[in-house]
Amino acid sequence: MEFRRVTGLPPYVFAQINGLKAEARAAGRDVVDFGFGNPDLPSPDVAVEKLAEAAHNPRNHRYSASRGIPNLRLAIARRYKALFDVDLDPETEVVTTIGAKEGLTHLMWVLCEAGDCAVVPSPSYPIHLAAPGFAGARVITVPVADPGTSALAPGEQFLAGLEEAVRTAPSRPRVIIVSFPHNPTTACVDLAFMERLVEFAARNEIVVCHDFAYADLGFDGYQPPSILQVRGAKEWCVELYTLTKSFSMAGWRVGFCVGNAEVVAALTKLKSYLDYG
């Protein structure tokens, strides 16, 4: 049988790593795994208690809302206001997702189609490269940092790379995918960088998707900025947020997409066909 959509996919990197780990452990070797960001801390007690309480409520055994229940979307909006001083309309600018990977993949379905282009930093988290391809888009990579220096923070070279990508792309890219703090390089940015990225997006009329998976993992006084803190960012930007890293809830598969109301509405429409929250 032929499976054309997945024929060209390489083996998933973490599946390969899991295979290598299994082989090593079967051979009696002690394995310390630095390959997969799987939280080793328990989920918060209050979350576990609420989950148990919800599991005993028969109403929760029925279909839910694919966009997320109203109180959850309201809580998301309140969290953004408290953490980032960003105002979000829970009715039009928030949609829940089944984790960030599902949200990103389906976001590419609503933003891209065959013949479109997407810009992705290199190196990148695997789904950032694969998701645009699932939608039929061509992926253009831009180095996240200057390989000729020891600096991890993206700067002029990354922004210049974006300019070059737009100039040479066969068609104007539909989306730029970024993620800061960055996986796998750990590169971090400040709000001034986000301001320049938003300005670039607005000038070129390109949607920016910021995968904010490590939103709460800042050290030595550093607070990772939300791209939505930039004035006017909601004109061109959306942000994906997941509870995986922040709350050690990887297996719960809870995330959300916030920002541009048109993009959120399009993702909400697609998800209404695909899942029930």
10 secondary structure, DSSP code = P
**pLDDT given at position 14:** 81
Tens-digit pLDDT profile for residues 145-179: 765 554 556 778 899 999 999 999 999 999 999 99
Quick one: pLDDT at residue 156?
80
- Write down the pLDDT at residue 261: 98
* 113-148 residue pLDDT tens: 999 999 999 999 999 999 999 999 999 999 987 655
In this prediction, residue 149 carries a pLDDT of 53
* Tens of pLDDT, residues 74-97: 999 999 999 999 999 999 999 999
> pLDDT exceeding 90 applies to what percent of the chain?
75
C-alpha 214, offset from chain centre:
10
Cis omega (within 30 of 0) on the bond before 123?
A: yes
The SS3 call for residue 218 is: coil
> What pLDDT, on a 0 to 100 scale, did the predictor assign at position 154?
76
**What residue spans of the chain are helical by DSSP H?**
4-7, 13-26, 45-55, 70-84, 99-111, 126-134, 156-168, 191-204, 243-247, 261-274
pLDDT of residue 105: 96
- Identify the pLDDT of residue 150: 47
Q: Higher pLDDT residue, 15 or 223?
A: 223
170: cis peptide before it, omega within 30°? Answer: no
pLDDT per residue over 46-74, tens digit each? 999 999 999 999 998 988 888 999 999 99
Domain limits, the chain: 1-36, 45-274
Model confidence at 1: pLDDT above 70:
yes
Is a pLDDT exceeding 80 seen at residue 36? no
- Higher-confidence residue of 32 and 117: namely 117
Does the pTM surpass 0.85? The reply is: yes
Q: What is the CATH number of domain 45-274?
A: 3.40.640.10
Q: Are 142 and 167 spatial neighbours (Cβ–Cβ below 8 Å)?
A: no
